[in-house]
Amino acid sequence: MTKLIIQIPCYNEENTLGVTLAALPRQLPGVDHIEWLVVDDGSQDRTVEVAKECGVEHIIRLSCNQGLAKAFMAGLEASLKAGADIIVNTDADNQYCAEDIPQLIRPILLGQAEIVVGARPITEIKHFSPAKKFLQKLGSWVVRLASNTNIPDAPSGFRAFSREAAMQLNVFNEYTYTLETIIQAGQKGMAITSVPVRTNGVLRSSRLVKSIPSYVLRSLFTILRIFMVYKPLRFFLFLGSVPFSMGVTLGIRWLIYFFAGTERTRIPSLILASILILMGFQLWILGLVADLLAANRKLMEEIQLRLRRKDFRG
């Protein structure tokens, strides 16, 4: 018996939640039972009342606004406790076309994937600015590089998870979960794929993109942090190579002048070269330490997975 739970993280969504829920399916081929779950992320409006009026079976209430990533993880945990075999995550602003949910869960039902990400037609979305389209592509490229996956629309929040995949996920980033969960899937060797999905008209402005400069800074910080957490050795080796290379270049320059018999000692250049080389070595050592910590994190995640399997067995 296959149980599907459709979860929706919400923060002050009384104006759009009813439209989103009205489009969600109650029956689907290959699924025996469908339930809805709403995560109220500290809303101050009638979001919870709207969810109840629309017949939502599970309502999770966070005491205060904790952000999209925390709400997403709270939804996954609640869905697992409720016995979900497949979990679909969608947005409360009705951005994604609910009619595409059958295509989204099909690879999981067929046993072809554990995570499926809905790929939006980014270039065709009119309300996306050129800067946002560029950042969407940049973020997806970085995620592909860090995760060894081939997901064309990494920032998409329209995605499906198998029960086993949901138990393995952790989100450390407080801004969004989208990029990090894909990288985790690649790191853990989970089968992840993508299917094309459609989008609906705009009901409200984006909560994540309050302004282009803010979105750019947050996205760049998120991408940088992803590399530091999941590719620490590669990140610090690259970072350390910059001052090390500069130091070696200055050192070679000093040696050339020294053996050429110049009258100037050029001691400041030699000191600067030594400092830069030392900085490079320190960053490389930091990368080795970070890599060891990453290995320890993997062991802790394995222990966590075993505990979750016991807690959420059903």
Domain contains 45: yes
pLDDT of residue 208: 62
| 194 and 99 within one domain | yes
- Is the pTM higher than 0.85? The answer reads no
Quick one: which H or E segment has residue 180? helix 178-188
Residue 226 domain flag: no
At 85, the pLDDT band (50, 70, 90 cuts) reads very high
Mean pLDDT of 91-110: 94
pLDDT tens across 51-61, in order?
A: 999 999 999 99
In a domain, 313, yes or no: no
Last residue of a domain, one of 220, 246, 266: 220
Of the residues 193, 220, 247, the one at which a domain ends: 220
Looking at the domain assignment, is residue 137 inside a domain?
A: yes
- The mean per-residue pLDDT over the stretch 251-273 comes to 82
Rg (the chain; Cα; Å): 24
Residue ranges making up the domain that contains 284: 232-305
Q: Which is higher by pLDDT, 163 or 135?
A: 163
The residue behind tokens 């299917």 is: 195
| Structural domains in the chain (count) | 2
Q: Are 118 and 158 in contact (CB under 8 A)?
A: yes
| Domain match, 212 and 176 both | yes
Q: Is 95 helix (H, G, I), strand (E, B) or coil?
A: coil
Residue-level pLDDT at 189: 86
Choice among 36-45, 64-73, 171-180, 206-215 with the minimum mean pLDDT: 206-215
Query: What 3-state DSSP class applies to 206?
Result: coil
- Overall average pLDDT of the 162-189 stretch: 86
Mean pLDDT of the chain: 87
The pLDDT value recorded for residue 134 is 79
Residue 280 has pLDDT above 90, yes or no: yes
